[in-house]
Amino acid sequence: MSTTRICHVEIDDSQLPPPTPEIEQERRVAVFDLLEDNSFAIPPRGDQPVPDGPYRLGLAIRERRLVFEVATETQQMVAEFHLSLGPFRQVVKDYFQICESYFSAVKTLPPGQIETIDMARRGIHNEGARVLQERLEGKAEIDIDTARRLFTLICVLHFGG
């Protein structure tokens, strides 16, 4: 079992309105997918050794900032970082808008048009993952698939916030 991975995800939404059933389902699927396949490592800082993973990840929005809390399996705190939500706002907004268009299209439009909207949705999702990778640079090392799954969780959190 790899030590550069996330083994548990906890989302602190205690300060947010209750999620809708659809948002709750998105969260469950995103957490399941993330735990099934991810790559997550904390880079060394200076002379400080980094405890080996796998890691427990806590996600929250506090004081209008995205908070990552990283601990070992035995719950020894490894790192905590706070990211401004500003760089995510537009891409999250665009992602929700394109998702609404996609869900509406599925009900009424022909497959070719649905596919076009879905390609745009994936493109915006990839952009969100890229922004996340940039924001985590020097704090955590994640691959693009992990970034995509984490971006989905950020969207779920952001929706509530």
What φ, ψ does residue 67 adopt, rounded to 5°? Answer: -110, 130
DSSP state of 44: P
Say if 24 falls within a structural domain.
yes
What's the 3-state SS for 74-115?
A: CCCEEEEEEEECHHHHHHHHHHHHHHHHHHHHHHHCCHHHHH
Q: Which residue segment(s) compose the domain that 117 sits in?
A: 6-160
Say if 123 falls within a structural domain.
yes
Q: What is the pLDDT of residue 160?
A: 54
Say if 54 falls within a structural domain.
yes
Confidence of residue 124 (pLDDT cuts 50, 70, 90): very high
- What is the number of domains present in the chain? 1
The predicted model scores a pTM of: 0.89
Say if 18 falls within a structural domain.
yes
Say if 42 falls within a structural domain.
yes
Say if 1 falls within a structural domain.
no
For residues 63 and 21, give the distance between their C-alpha atoms in angstroms, rounded to a whole number. 25
pLDDT for 126-158, tens place per residue? 999 999 999 999 999 999 999 999 999 998 887
Confidence of residue 161 (pLDDT cuts 50, 70, 90): very low
Question: Average pLDDT of 5-24?
Answer: 86
Say if 144 falls within a structural domain.
yes
* 132 compared with 106, residue with greater pLDDT: 132
